[in-house]
Amino acid sequence: MAFFDSTTVDQLIAKYPVVPVFYHEDLALTQGIIKACYDGGMRAFEFTNRGESALATFTALVPFIRENCPDMAIGIGTIFKAEQAAKFIEVGADFVVQPVTTAEVGALCQEKNIAWYPGACTLNEIYQATELGATVVKIFPGNVVGPGFVKSMKGPMPKVKVMVTGGVEPTTESLTTWFNAGVTAVGMGSQLFPSAVLANKDFNQIQQTVASLMETVASLSK
């Protein structure tokens, strides 16, 4: 079962608001990346359900994280159905992320006290997600809607917390634009883990990049 309850995960993401989004079937590689992200200052990691070995890999990652990254919440992304969420919650997922919003996944997460971050890209979808109990709504794809959408959405919905995934680059300019628009957090995938860095298993480079990003977002919150 989860190590962190939903409120604690919400607090972690608010305090450390850059969340890596990653999938790879290579367990050792994924462990190295997670440790590099942790050492760089990240405290939440989204592993996506995008391959046949996702559950097996995730299951093996949980004890590794509990031992080596004790303050990190591990979540599962790309979840569509409650039965998918249940399998990952059973083996230790601290939070569940969706590209869409499905009520049954939200209900399951609330029953289990698991943080739930459903996906949306319109005002109506965002509103419906909050009505279903979402404390943070994932806006996806961010590269399609853009920071201007978030800023405009905050007009009628100033209290809604959003995490944007897609279109966020690991640069000061990109982070500044998104956080100034009003996001609570951002998710970052392939831009954070270039193929050459993965091929070389350059975990030091990842750690340095992450540390720089976390310094940037910390300065934006001051």
Tokens representing 5 are 């309850």
pTM value > 0.85 = yes
Q: Helix or strand or coil: residue 164?
A: strand
Q: How many residues does the chain have?
A: 222
Tokens representing 204 are 């030091």
In DSSP notation, 132-146 reads: TT-SEEEE--HHHHH
Q: What is the pLDDT of residues 165-203, one digit of tens each?
A: 998 999 999 999 999 999 999 999 988 999 999 999 999
* Alpha-carbon separation of residue 121 from 42, 103, 115, 169 (angstroms): 26, 16, 20, 19
pLDDT at 43: 98
CA nearest to 16, candidates 222, 219, 218: 218
CA nearest to 193, candidates 25, 37, 27: 37
* Eight-state DSSP code of residue 76: E
Could you tell me what percent of the chain has a pLDDT over 90? 96
Residue extents of the structural domains in the chain:
6-212
Phi–psi pair at 38, nearest 5 degrees? -65, -50
pLDDT at 75: 98
Q: Does domain 6-212 have CATH number 3.40.50.1100?
A: no
Residue in the structure block whose two tokens are 């800023």: 151
Residue in the structure block whose two tokens are 């976390």: 214
